[in-house]
Amino acid sequence: MIIINVLNAIYALKFVLQGLFSQRRRRKSKVEKYDTVVIGGGPAGSIAARTIAEKGFKVLLLEKRQEFGRPVRCAEGVSKKWLEKYTDIKDKWISRPIKGAILKSPGGKKALMQYNESDRGYILDRSVFDFDLAVEASESGATVRTKNRVERIERNKDSFKIYIEGFNKYIVESKTIIAADGVEGKIPRMLGINTILDPGDIEFGLNYQLEGVDINQDYIEMIGGNELAPGGYVWIFPKGEHSANVGLGVLASRSTKEKNAKYFLDKFVSKRFPEASISKVVAGAVTVAKPLKKMYGNSFLIVGDSARLSNPLTGAGIGNALESGALAGETISKALEKNDFSENNFKEYQKKVMKSVGNTSKKFYHIKEAFIKFSDKDIDDMITLLSQVDPEKLNLKKLLTITFKNNKEIISLLKKIVF
C-alpha cells in the first residue's frame, strides 16, 4: 500500500509538473500541436485519451483539478461488466464487491434482489480508479496535465486554438477535440452545442461517507419515497468495515431553498445512523436527461456526462462514460487515419453510442418520468409485490414489470429494453 501511494504521488507530481514546465517551455518556443485534445480527466476522458494514444496519435489530456479523481464526486457504484470491458480490474480500486440490492419503501417494506454472476458490481474507490485511468493514458503515450483548465476555444480553418489556464495562460493547437468535461462542463457550448438542462432533468446529489455504521457489506440499499428524496432515491453503498456511502438525489424541480438535498440527507442520516460520523462529503449534479441529440460536430465529439449519458433512472454514469469514451477514441483514431474530421464522418459516433447505451438511456428516461409520479403508497405496494419474488429470480426485468404492471405504455417500452 505504501508503494502504491508513493507511485501515485510521483505520477501526481509528474502531471502537475508537465503542466507547469510545458507552459514555461512554450513561452519561449512555438505553439504545441496535437492530433486530439481531450478536455476533462474523468473516466470518459481518460479512456478516450488512452484509446487514441494506443494508436500512436499525439493526444493531450487536460484536467482542471489538481489531481485526477479528487475530490470524488460519486457514490462509486459500478457494474462489473463495464470494468471488465475496459480495464484489468485492480484490487486497489475496489472498496467492496456487491452481491445484490435491498430495495426499500418509505413504509419499511423490503425486497431482496440477488444479482447473478454477470450483474454483480463493485463499490469503487474512485480517487484511485480515476487516477489510475489517467496513468494508463499517460503510459499509452498521451501527454497528461492537471491543473490545466480550458477557458476558450477558437476554430481556425483546419484546427482549433485552445486557450488554457494553469499556472500560466497558454495556447495549444489541435486537429480535433473530445469534450469530456462532465455534467457542469462548458466545452460543448463553446463548440456550439446546447447542453442546458431542464430542472426536471437534473438532480442535486449529496453523499456522506459515514463511519461507524452497521450494515450488510455485501448489498447495496436503495430506498424510494417522496418525503425521503423527492424525485430521486436514497442509496446506502457499503465501503468496507463499518463504513458506507450514504446519499441521495433530489430532482432540481422539486428542491427548494429550505428543503434541499442536505435537508433530506441530514434528516435520513440522523434517523437511520444517529451514531455515525461523516468522514467525507460529496456534492454534485447528476443528469437524469435524455442523451444529447447531437454529440458530434465538425472535428469534435462529446462523451460521458457531458453528452448527458448517465442513466436517467439511477443516475449511474461511470459505465456509459467508459463506453462513450472508448467509442469516441476509436472514431477519432479512424478519422485521423483517413484525415477526415468532417461532421458527416463523425455521425457514426452518435449512431454507435445510441446503439450501445444511448437508446437504452432514452427509454429509461421515460421510465423515470413515470416513476417520479409514484405516490409513497404506490412504492409501498410495489415493494410488497417484489418481496414475494424469489430473490434469486428478482432481476431488472421482473422489477420493472411489477413496478409498471398497470402502465401499458411503459410495459411496451420495457419490452424493447430488457425483454
Residues that bind ligand FAD (CB under 6 A): 39-45, 62-65, 73-78, 149-150, 180-183, 185, 205, 207, 247, 282, 284, 286, 304-306, 310, 315-318, 321
Q: How far is the CB of 169 from ligand FAD (least distance, A)?
A: 13
**How far out from the chain centre does Cα 261 lie?**
19
Q: Which is nearer to ligand FAD, 224 or 247 (CB)?
A: 247
Question: How many whole angstroms separate alpha carbon 99 and alpha carbon 90?
Answer: 18
Q: How far is the CB of 339 from ligand FAD (least distance, A)?
A: 27
Q: Which is nearer to ligand FAD, 16 or 286 (CB)?
A: 286
Assess contact for 394 and 111: CB atoms under 8 A: yes
Spatial neighbors of 68 by CB under 8 A, at least 6 apart, are 12, 15, 41, 46, 130, 131, 133, 134, 146
Q: Tell me which residue of 78, 139, 21 sits closest to 310, measured CA to CA.
A: 78
Signed CA dihedral, 251, 252, 253, 259: sign only? positive
Q: How far is the CB of 407 from ligand FAD (least distance, A)?
A: 26
Q: What are phi and psi of 418, to 5 degrees?
A: -120, -5
Q: How far is the CB of 310 from ligand FAD (least distance, A)?
A: 4
DSSP 128-169: HHHHHHHHHHHHTT-EEESS-EEEEEEE-SSSEEEEEESSSE
Q: How far is the CB of 390 from ligand FAD (least distance, A)?
A: 27
Report the DSSP pairing between strands 202-211 and 277-287.
Answer: antiparallel
Q: How far is the CB of 193 from ligand FAD (least distance, A)?
A: 15
Q: Which is nearer to ligand FAD, 282 or 402 (CB)?
A: 282
Length of the chain: 419
Q: How far is the CB of 114 from ligand FAD (least distance, A)?
A: 20
Q: How far is the CB of 41 from ligand FAD (least distance, A)?
A: 5
Assess contact for 248 and 231: CB atoms under 8 A: no
Q: How far is the CB of 106 from ligand FAD (least distance, A)?
A: 21
Question: How many whole angstroms separate alpha carbon 402 and alpha carbon 194?
Answer: 37
Question: How many whole angstroms separate alpha carbon 244 and alpha carbon 219?
Answer: 11
Q: Which is nearer to ligand FAD, 39 or 413 (CB)?
A: 39
Spatial neighbors of 62 by CB under 8 A, at least 6 apart, are 37, 38, 39, 40, 41, 145, 148, 149, 150, 164
CB-closest chain residue to ligand FAD:
317
SS3 content of the chain, % helix, strand, coil (to 5): 40, 25, 35
Q: Which is nearer to ligand FAD, 70 or 109 (CB)?
A: 70
Q: Which is nearer to ligand FAD, 181 or 201 (CB)?
A: 181
Q: Which is nearer to ligand FAD, 109 or 362 (CB)?
A: 362
Grid-cell match 486530439, residue found: 36
Q: Which is nearer to ligand FAD, 326 or 410 (CB)?
A: 326
